[in-house]
Structure 1
Amino acid sequence: MSNEQKALIEMFKDCQPLLTAIGDETRQLIMVAIMENGCYPGIRVGEITKKVNLSRPAVSHHIKILMDAKIVNVSKQGTMNFYYLDPEKSRLLHLKTLVEHIELLMEQCK
């Protein structure tokens, strides 16, 4: 196994929580709802529930998964929580690196 292949395997392992989180259609809808609202300060759970037609507990569950995968962040203002995507802190950049590495290895297959 080449060093490039080993690096790719490590990248896949590093991105596994991210891939799992964004692989769910409901979480994709939640991410779109968050992005539609703009970046900072974000959107509250109640607003997300209206956009994706899910219960508050269901949205909270999915947001927790997105937060654990370091895709979504929270801004607390008093007793209110606002959820947003922070491009500088998001692990989504890891996904871009993974795709670029896959493309590089695929070019070598030609």
Structure 2
Amino acid sequence: MDQEITDRISVEFKNNQKVLTAIGNETRQAILITLLRGPQNPGMRVGEIRLKTYLSRPAISHHLKILKEAQIVSVHKEGTINYYRLDSKSKLKSLKDLVHVIEKALSQCE
């Protein structure tokens, strides 16, 4: 396999490390699916997410923090109320680059 492609794959894995870690957890996947099903404007509150996922508020807050740090979820504040939604500029889009480079490498192996 071409050294340039393997180097690029390494770079893309590093660029996507937080995203891959964040979406690799089943609980966070459940939260993401809940957010996808919910209203994007203004978003969902922790209590609404709790009702759909049956997780505790502290667990949801912990996982939302990880998803926010990975830039997958954003928070919209209205006074003291926080609404969570998928980030429109989400780092999830950067996974396309990783997949594209891997597909390119695989096509060279065939």
TM-score by length of 2: 0.95
**Aligned equivalents of 2:84, 2:29: Cα separation in 1:** 14
**Aligned equivalents of 2:69, 2:41: Cα separation in 1:** 19
Equivalences for residues 2-17 of structure 1 within 5 A: 2-17=3-18
**Aligned-residue RMSD, C-alpha:** 1.0
Higher relative contact order (CA 8 A, sep 6+): 2
Structure 1 unmatched runs, 5+: none
Equivalences for residues 1-110 of structure 1 within 5 A: 2-87=3-88, 89-110=89-110
Corresponding letter in the other structure for 2:93 = L
Hey, which bits of structure 1, 4+ residues long, moved more than 2 A? none
Percent identity of the aligned residues?
Answer: 50
Corresponding letter in the other structure for 2:83 = F
- Contact 1:39–1:86 (CA under 8 A) maintained in structure 2: no
